[in-house]
Amino acid sequence: MSLLCLDIGNSRTKAGIFEGDDLREVRSFSSREIVDKVGQLLNGSIEAAVVSSVVPSVIEVMMKEFKKHGVPEVILVRHTTTGRLKLKIKNPETLGPDRLSEAVGAYEMAGTTSVVIDAGTATTTTIVDADGNLIGGTIMPGIEMMLRCLHEKTAALPQVEPFSWERPFGIDTKSSIMAGVLYSTLGLLEKVIEEVHRMYGQPVVFLTGGRAEVLRPYMRDAVYEPYLTLLGMKAIYERRHR
């Protein structure tokens, strides 16, 4: 069967088409183009869709589009569609569907204590224990956000594009900025992993998100999975049908 998974963000949308267990195709495009782009994918062969979005107006538009193209089943990722996970957090309805999908995907793959690191606009961690309880996480400014803030909130610091830097200190202004941003991010992530290990045992660490490549050289033990959100959405669909 053909399953369409849509991860809809405020600015970008990622679409993945699964044929059985195979991720056959992945497309990324502006969320402003979502109706046209998804319409091209709905060619009659899509038998079901899973949608993750925090924008209610987009969900309404897409539901009409699915109905128009005769997609028989659509699942919206919500705090009530958690696969094997149990949400042991306050106000679970406020958990982002992207983080929920990633946590589901990580636990399906690892089957044990997991830490999911998503390096995007924000850098987030989501923690699942060995029993499948989603127990919390952290949210901090993403790498680009920190770099932009340093430039915009000071008179003399330049705008710096993210790049890898192997020393914990810089040798000029740009490398000093990058070292500060990079190693503050790595320091928080290492502390989270250390505390999870102390409290729940050795975790499997997953790394995903648009800026994961910047962190990847420094986190060689992490499982790099750029499509973790889509894989989690597929797992949510499969759990619904077991």
- Catalytic residue numbers, as ranges: 98
Tokens of 37: 């782009």
How many helices (H) does the chain have, and how many strands (E)?
7, 11
What is the residue type of 123?
Answer: T
Q: How far apart are CA 169 and CA 95, in angstroms?
A: 35
- Pairing assessment for the beta strands 86-87 and 114-119 based on DSSP bridges: unpaired
Cα dihedral across residues 142, 143, 144, 147: positive or negative? positive
- Distances, alpha carbon 214 to alpha carbons 94, 118, 195, in Å: 28, 12, 23
What is the residue type of 124?
Answer: T
Cα 144–chain centre separation: 16
Closest CA to 147 of 124, 170, 121, 186: 121
* Structure letter (DSSP) for residue 132: S
The helix or strand, by DSSP H or E, that contains position 240, with its residue range, turns out to be helix 228-240
- What is the chain's alpha carbon radius of gyration, rounded to the nearest angstrom? 19
